[in-house]
Amino acid sequence: MSYARPFGAHRPHDGAGGVEVDAFAGSGHQQLLWSEEPPLSETTFVIVDLETSGTAPGNAAITEIGAVKVRGGEVLGEFASFVQIDRPLPADIVRLTGITDEDLRDAPPISEVFPAFHEFARGAVLVAHNARFDMGFLKTACSDLGYEWDFPTPLCTLVLSRRIVPKSDTRSYRLHDLARLFNAKTAPNHRALYDARATVDVLHGLIERVGDCGVETLPDLRRFDNRLSPTTRRKASLADALPQSPGVYIFRDDTGVPLYVGSSINIRQRARSYFSGGDSRSRMRTMVGLADSVEAVECAHDLEAWVREEQLIDSLQPPFNRRSRAPRRGWWVAPGTKAGALRIERFPFGEAIGPFRTKNEARDCAEIYGLEDWDGLCGGTQLGGLEDAIESITNLASEGRFETAARRRDELAPAVAALAGVHSLGPLARCEEIVLAQRLAKTWTFAVIRYGRLAAAGTLPRGADWSTYVAGLRESATHISPGDGPFAGATVPGVRLIARWMDTRPTRIVSITGQWREPARGAQRLLEWAETAKDAARHARRSLR
């Protein structure tokens, strides 16, 4: 018994004479449960404050650490310690904090205090007022002592307060003024533990202010956008009845017209995030303002959600979606009817290279490749000319002929990328059937792929009889016949979704009907060069605007 390694890292390929992939299945690796963020009430925070001998971590040192651990409004513990340093305290620091050299003389060094703090805060989200300052010192200590910084992105109450609290409500966003605004039980006084206690009340006050604005989880809180009107934020209730499972969500206006289609592994959580500023694009804020209802289409797992999303965008054409509106759009290069000629087509019926974004890109490809090496190019066995072209571009640049090199790079990169897609995705699209499985923490997820399209999707609790389940899934799967074109009737974006799913986590091949094999030395190995070249071209276009 063996397992299929992650798609993309180890794919089936042609060796000498070609190697067919046989069906295999077996034990795999531990995989992830669907990502579901806990509510804020179940999130553990450690609010920390530091006193230091100066403002820059490289030139100053931590003199005191104070921290409070909280969850669900309850204090779980406190941490406080002076830190011994190897230099006298500046007079202005003594005046500001009241901490003296005498206080620090018998204190433990940072090599003892930081490990104790690290253990106290382990697994929690760090919070600080002006977190950049405190985290800079903590990360420096962490690095100096050889520890790995394993905390999630910290939360900054200074940043949050500027987003949540109107200027008219507070004299400033300093901790002292915010503590007064939220009636903190402890007044900040430039001592670490006291300031940390005050920051706890500020954090709770900020969370309370956005409680009815669709903010339920830590990501919701991080991306809260006060540019959304109160009316829009109150629309978060539209998502209350949505399932917390993988699937597609559809925003509709008051006449039922679809506005926007998206997918998520947690429909409810993702839909609610739009009402708290989870998507900062201006057109999304406009969409949310027009939304009157949110509809859900539950799916077995993330791959099915991605596929349904693409299908619904294609069929519904929602005005606020920009991608996936025309999955078959593009230009292709294919052999012409005349001997020795290539032609440009929108919908090829046989072997072809593409799709290209523009007709000019397809013409460049036809000029680069020509027909004489067509079979070798499509089969991935004759790419010497392509490698020579890349080398010539490098030589032009080394000779200082940058404009010529850039022009040829911009012509060649789309052709290389398109050919790489034909070599890597084409075999997957032409395979009659592949049954794939991924193991999550509590379930198995299955996908039946036929000619590059999802024919069935399902989940099964771990420990159940998967062989019987897979047999039933295959029996009930959609019948798909191969179509015309280099991808057997499948869309290139659709096949890419399947490849993307196989790349997300270790994937097992349960069974294969037909063949799935890629050229061992195809254009995939040149894809990194093509992507770098395309990025350079995009950067050059932006610089000319």
pLDDT tens per residue across span 457-469 = 999 999 899 899 9
For residue 264, the SS3 value is strand
pLDDT band at 12 (very low <50, low <70, confident <90, very high): very low
pLDDT tens per residue across span 195-251 = 999 999 999 999 999 877 778 889 888 888 776 667 777 788 899 899 999 999 999
SS3 content of the chain, % helix, strand, coil (to 5): 45, 20, 40
The closest of 331, 348, 336 to 485, measured between CA atoms, is 348
Asked whether residue 185 falls in the same domain as residue 247, the answer is no
**pLDDT at residue 33 above 80?**
no
Asked whether residue 179 falls in the same domain as residue 238, the answer is no
Mean pLDDT of 310-336: 89
pLDDT band at 366 (very low <50, low <70, confident <90, very high): confident
- H or E element: which one contains 330? none
Q: Considering its fold, how many domains does the chain have in total?
A: 3
442 lies in some domain: yes
**The predicted structure's pLDDT at residue 278:** 64
Asked whether residue 393 falls in the same domain as residue 428, the answer is yes
Contact 331, 348 (CB under 8 A): no
**The predicted structure's pLDDT at residue 107:** 94
**The predicted structure's pLDDT at residue 5:** 25
Phi and psi for 62 in degrees, rounded to 5? -70, 130
Asked whether residue 388 falls in the same domain as residue 306, the answer is no
For residue 506, is the peptide bond before it cis, meaning its omega torsion is within 30 degrees of 0?
no
pLDDT tens per residue across span 157-191 = 999 999 899 899 999 999 999 999 999 999 999 99
Q: Strands 508-513, 433-439: parallel, antiparallel or unpaired by DSSP?
A: antiparallel
Of 297, 316, 335, the domain-final residue: 316
**pLDDT at residue 26 above 50?**
no
Buried-exposed string 215-227: b where 16+ CB fall within 10 A, e elsewhere: bbbbebbbebbbe
490 lies in some domain: yes
The closest of 203, 166, 198, 172 to 72, measured between CA atoms, is 203
Asked whether residue 381 falls in the same domain as residue 449, the answer is yes
Of 153, 175, 209, the domain-final residue: 209
pLDDT tens per residue across span 111-160 = 999 999 999 999 999 999 999 999 999 999 999 999 999 999 999 999 99
Range of the domain at 418: 1-30+377-545
Asked whether residue 461 falls in the same domain as residue 489, the answer is yes
Provide, rounded to the nearest whole percent, the portion of the chain with pLDDT above 90: 54
294 lies in some domain: yes
Asked whether residue 289 falls in the same domain as residue 423, the answer is no
**The predicted structure's pLDDT at residue 419:** 86
pLDDT tens per residue across span 35-80 = 467 889 999 999 999 999 998 887 899 999 999 999 999 999 999 9
366 lies in some domain: no
CA distance 223 to 276: 7
149 lies in some domain: yes
Mean pLDDT of 95-119: 93
Asked whether residue 16 falls in the same domain as residue 88, the answer is no
179 lies in some domain: yes
Asked whether residue 412 falls in the same domain as residue 283, the answer is no
pLDDT band at 338 (very low <50, low <70, confident <90, very high): low
361 lies in some domain: no
**pLDDT at residue 372 above 70?**
no
Asked whether residue 186 falls in the same domain as residue 99, the answer is yes
Which has more confidence, 368 or 6? 368
Asked whether residue 397 falls in the same domain as residue 508, the answer is yes
Strands ordered across the beta sheet of 353-356: 342-345, 331-335, 353-356
Contact 209, 202 (CB under 8 A): no
The closest of 202, 210, 208 to 273, measured between CA atoms, is 210
290 lies in some domain: yes
Which has more confidence, 9 or 418? 418
pLDDT band at 15 (very low <50, low <70, confident <90, very high): very low
Of 299, 316, 333, the domain-final residue: 316
CATH number, domain with residue 290:
3.40.1440.10
Mean pLDDT of 433-437: 97
Contact 488, 482 (CB under 8 A): yes
On average, the pLDDT of the chain sits at 85
CATH number, domain with residue 70:
3.30.420.10
pLDDT tens per residue across span 465-520 = 989 999 999 999 999 999 988 899 999 999 999 999 999 999 999 999 999 988 87
Other Cβ atoms within 10 Å of 206 Cβ, number = 21
Asked whether residue 475 falls in the same domain as residue 537, the answer is yes
